[in-house]
Amino acid sequence: MPRNVPTPAIVTQALHRHRSARYQAVKGFFRNILSNPDYPYKKFFDLFMIALILSSVWILVHEVKHPLPHWVDVYDLYVVTLLFIVEYLLRLWVYSDLHEMVLKEYDESLILGRPLNYGRIFKRFVLSKFAYMSSPAAIIDLMAILPGYRPLRVLRIFVLFRLFKLLRYTKSINEFVQVLVEKKFELLTLLFLLVFIVLTAGIAIYVFETHVNPKINTLFDAIYWALVTISTVGYGDIAPVTTQGRVISGIIIVSGIAMISFVTSVIVSAFSVKLEELKENRLIHDLNKEEAFLILCGYGQMTKMFLRQKDYPLEYIILDNDANRVATARKDGYNAIQEDASRYEVLHRFNTQYARVTLATLLNSDVENIYITLNAKSVDPTIQVIARMSDRKMAHKYKLAGADHLLMPDEVASRMLLMAIEQPAMQEAIVHLLTGRSKAKLDEIIVHEHDHYCCKALEEIDFKQHKLIFVGIYRAMNGEFLFNPAKELILEAGDVMLVVGYHVSIAQFEKDFRSV
């Protein structure tokens, strides 16, 4: 039975935060700018932090030979360090939500009928924050702050940790580390072997040569020599003088060569496997930075023809299941990756939140096209879908799936052929106007608020002088097309004017139209 006790203050506080749109917005903003790679403004933050780090390292290097002016010291101490501290705290803050923990504990206590346990909340809070603090990235961040503590000059060298911090802000280094992490097992095995050989050889040379060789006095000298030798660096500052020592040298030189080639091959093979994936990730990552882009599903004839019409306005990517077709697309010079567009995770990787995404599914099969349409709409309803349809009977299904535009190649072609028979001149006119391949084209000019002609009557625009035919106006507001409207009509911002004319005339007209 729930007892009738007043809600504890901490819970009301937590609830308040949970519901506060402003709190969520602020936290969301910091979360995005710190850790959401798709957030468009993150790159400015990253660049700023990189500049801070580089300036700090430059100061460290410069300081070695030159005395620093006082303000540089102040900058280094207060500005850089302070910003790092702020960043660290912000990251710690956005990592987890205290109020959510409180609410969870409160819910559990209500269900189980036990009193609210502040200790448990505190424990959860500390554990989650500690989980963040003990992550490698957070440790590097913390180390990077340390040089700010002046009494210990030794800490100055920790400025170099600020360089490690660069990892956070540059994706390519991250990917490199990722590859190494994936080969952790192989690399660790080799490292273990290396340590084993170096230690054994070091101890052996120490035993054989300590009293004979004046250069080897301590075990550290011996191990240092073994490491220099096995790596094939061979400074020569310490060299074996006894026969036994030279035999050991021979052994570790041979094993060193073997080991280095082994390590190299492990890393190279890891990269070659991973390289494709990295390239694909990079492709998607770059695309996600665009304001708007196009996803083409399937590299069939339709896609080929589409890309061949050179004036595609958007960045694009081709997704195809088939490795051969992807290879062909790449050979033809297009950006293609081998992915299945009907899988949720695949489309989910695209930045649908901040970019206008258009997906064109141009496969031969209706089943596939409908599935991909549905998939796209389930990932994000704002994705605009252009679907190819083989049969008009399918139209209803496509509409249900949410396709925005339907394309029926067969029907359009038949219709065009009919036109060519019945009204050849008109068919020619339409083809020319739409493709814009001849000199004349049909084009749309959007009226902006600050345009010269905005909010003026149509009669003030001299289309004749510009050698244009004015077809009509589309009013986005009420969604109607006004064909050949009366001359007294006043242009409004957002109107789209349809004109027919030569490419040059249209370009000139747009220029004049926009000028103030």
Nearer to another protein by Cβ, of 273 and 412: the residue is 412
The correct pick among 217, 301, 324, 364 for binding another protein (CB under 8 A) is 301
Distance in angstroms (rounded) separating the CA atoms of residues 177 and 351:
24
Query: How many C-beta atoms surround the C-beta of residue 373 within 10 A?
Result: 28
Local structure of 30: helix, strand or coil: helix
421 binds another protein (CB under 8 A): yes
**Nearest distance from residue 367's CB to another protein, in Å?**
18
Tell me the angle at which helices 159-169 and 42-65 cross, rounded to the nearest 10 degrees. Answer: 160
- Letters for 310-349 (x = contact with another protein by CB under 8 A, - = none) are -xxxx-----------------------------------
Q: Which stretch binds another protein (CB under 8 A): 104-112, 115-123, 190-198, 436-444?
A: 436-444
- Letters for 358-397 (x = contact with another protein by CB under 8 A, - = none) are x-x-x-----------------------x-x---------
Using alpha carbons, select from 95, 98, 106, 103 the residue that is nearest to residue 124.
Answer: 98
459 binds another protein (CB under 8 A): no
Nearer to another protein by Cβ, of 14 and 385: the residue is 385
**Nearest distance from residue 360's CB to another protein, in Å?**
6
Distance in angstroms (rounded) separating the CA atoms of residues 280 and 352:
18
Local structure of 384: helix, strand or coil: strand
289 binds another protein (CB under 8 A): no
The residues, any chain, with a CB within 8 Å of residue 247's CB and separated by 6 or more, are none
The correct pick among 34, 60, 297, 468 for binding another protein (CB under 8 A) is 468
The residues, any chain, with a CB within 8 Å of residue 194's CB and separated by 6 or more, are 230, 259
Count of residues near another protein by CB under 8 A? 65
| Residues forming a β-bridge with 496 | 446, 474
Q: Which stretch binds another protein (CB under 8 A): 220-228, 272-280, 340-348, 421-429?
A: 421-429
Distance in angstroms (rounded) separating the CA atoms of residues 216 and 210:
5
426 binds another protein (CB under 8 A): yes
Nearer to another protein by Cβ, of 279 and 415: the residue is 415
132 binds another protein (CB under 8 A): no
Q: Is 238 exposed, middle or buried (0-12, 13-18, 19+ CB in 10 A)?
A: buried
Nearer to another protein by Cβ, of 53 and 363: the residue is 363
Tokens 């050698």 found at: 467
CB-CB contact of 307 with 335 (8 Å): no
Distance in angstroms (rounded) separating the CA atoms of residues 167 and 173:
6
The correct pick among 110, 481, 490, 514 for binding another protein (CB under 8 A) is 481
Q: Which of residues 246-275 bind another protein (CB under 8 A)?
A: none
Q: Please give the single-letter amino acid code of residue 170.
A: T
Tokens of 334: 């297009």
Tokens of 165: 């911090």
Interacting residues toward another protein by CB under 8 A:
294, 301-302, 304-306, 308-309, 311-314, 358, 360, 362, 386, 388, 405, 407, 409-418, 420-426, 428-435, 438-440, 442-444, 467-469, 471-472, 474, 481, 483-484, 496, 498, 500-502, 505
